[in-house]
Amino acid sequence: MSQHLLAILTFALTLTFAASPLIVTDFSGFAPEQFPVPQDDPPVQPAGYAFAIWGVIYLWLIAGMAFGALRRSAEADWQAMRPPLCVSLLVGTGWLAVAERDPIWATVLIWIILISALLALYRAPRRDRIWAAYPLGLYAGWLSAASCVSLGLVTAGYGLMSASTAALVLVFAALVLASAIQSTLGRTPTYALAVIWALAAVVAQNVAGNQIVAALAGGGALALLRPMIKARRAERPAE
């Protein structure tokens, strides 16, 4: 495939990914009855307002990949991120349709979406970061949290752990994963920002109920501030 066609394909898949909620209009998270152990108000799941971040992710990815297709279609530093990003967007386009029917397969797929998004993020160009690395960072950061949430819902929903234990284990896993990624990436603070947003919403979900989960999520959000600030400072000399 030529470089120009790959740039156009990346933009086209961004559009199909952003349009998928218009096709699957009635999905608002896994339904409690999708699990053998119904997950009513699960502590691992962020408060509902947090999912509004998808609007920002969709619009920023569309704008960024449009810029890439128009202005950076043949640039080598942009080309490296496009193949894994295409995989992530392609699988992501069908994710909602799968999630409506099967939480286990949806969990498997969201980890594939995450891993390919992270590979794209690490390959993202250092220039033009407002168009490439920053939207990718927000996307991969939210996916990091969402993947752990999905795994937490499945483990609790199939009786492998209690809902509270699953929340503690997977919130901690999200924190460790995000800390490792932001620290090794060394740039793109939007990654940690998205995870902090998710953790803050877990606090909001649990502050009146499960204070242990709320405290862990709140502490994790504060801990991620340091690598996020360090990543931002590391980018300043290149500006």
In tens, the pLDDT along 69-118 reads 999 998 999 999 999 999 999 999 999 999 999 999 999 999 999 999 99
| 120 belongs to a structural domain | yes
| 31 belongs to a structural domain | no
Q: Is the pLDDT of residue 238 over 60?
A: no
pLDDT at residue number 235: 86
| 225 belongs to a structural domain | yes
pLDDT at residue number 25: 67
Q: Total domain count for the chain?
A: 1
| 36 belongs to a structural domain | no
pLDDT at residue number 239: 42
| 118 belongs to a structural domain | yes
Please give the average per-residue pLDDT across 40-53, as a whole number. 94
| 173 belongs to a structural domain | yes
Which amino acid appears at position 218 of this protein?
A: G
- Tens of pLDDT, residues 155-189: 999 999 999 999 999 999 999 999 999 999 999 99
- Tens of pLDDT, residues 182-234: 999 999 999 999 999 999 999 999 999 899 999 999 999 999 999 999 999 99
pLDDT more than 70, % of the chain: 97
pLDDT band at 237 (very low <50, low <70, confident <90, very high): low
Please give the average per-residue pLDDT across 45-74, as a whole number. 96
| 170 belongs to a structural domain | yes
Q: In the 3-class helix/strand/coil scheme, how is the chain assigned residue by residue?
A: CCHHHHHHHHHHHHHHHHHHHHHCCCCCCCCHHHCCCCCCCCCCCCCHHHHHHHHHHHHHHHHHHHHHHHHCCCCHHHHCCHHHHHHHHHHHHHHHHHHCCCHHHHHHHHHHHHHHHHHHHHHCCCCCCCCCHHHHHHHHHHHHHHHHHHHHHHHHHCCCCCHHHHHHHHHHHHHHHHHHHHHHHCCCCHHHHHHHHHHHHHHHHHCCCCHHHHHHHHHHHHHHHHHHHHHHHHHHHHC
| 38 belongs to a structural domain | no
pLDDT at residue number 236: 75
- Tens of pLDDT, residues 62-71: 999 999 999 9
Q: Which domain holds residue 131?
A: 3-22+48-238
pLDDT at residue number 209: 87
